[in-house]
Amino acid sequence: MEELDESHGTVGAAQVTFDEQGAPVIELRGEIDMSNVDSLRTAIEPAVARTPERVVFDLGTLEFMDSSGIALLLQIASKAQSVELRNPSALVRRMIEATGLADVLHMEA
């Protein structure tokens, strides 16, 4: 797992594994904001470079995400036929629903 610690003190991490069908499962942890989103994107992009059919984000240990995190999810979603968000917090769920992105970023409990 690659831990990212920016000078602003915000820590975010991304760990990429693959499920039995070969779909990338990307666990996002900590906090995602404009201070670290570029580093997280760099860590994630190799896993989606081959345009997978499906991408799964596990958000169970994500503590905070601002609009730059939503933009990251949408950028990755544009490279796959479907995106699944697992374990989104109530805050993340509300952000996605409020922005009308629930049809693009499918959420599971």
Whether residue 7 has pLDDT greater than 50: no
pLDDT at 3: 42
Sheet containing strand 24-32, edge to edge, reads: 2-5, 11-18, 24-32, 54-65, 82-86, 105-108
49-107: pLDDT as tens digits? 989 999 999 999 999 999 999 999 999 999 999 999 999 999 899 999 999 999 999 99
pLDDT at 108: 87
Please work out, in degrees rounded to the nearest 5, the angle formed at the alpha carbon of residue 107 by the alpha carbons of 34 and 70: 15
**Cα distance between residue 31 and residue 13, in whole Å:** 8
Burial 34-59 (b: 16+ CB within 10 A, else e): ebbbebbeebbeebbeeebebbbbbb
Which pTM does this prediction carry? 0.85
Whether residue 37 has pLDDT greater than 50: yes
Is residue 58 a contact partner of residue 87, using CB atoms and an 8 Å limit?
yes
For residue 10, what pLDDT band results from cuts at 50, 70 and 90? low
Is residue 87 a contact partner of residue 57, using CB atoms and an 8 Å limit?
no
Query: What average pLDDT score do residues 2-9 get?
Result: 42
Q: Which domains, and CATH codes, for the chain?
A: 24-45+52-108 (3.30.750.24)
For residue 6, what pLDDT band results from cuts at 50, 70 and 90? very low
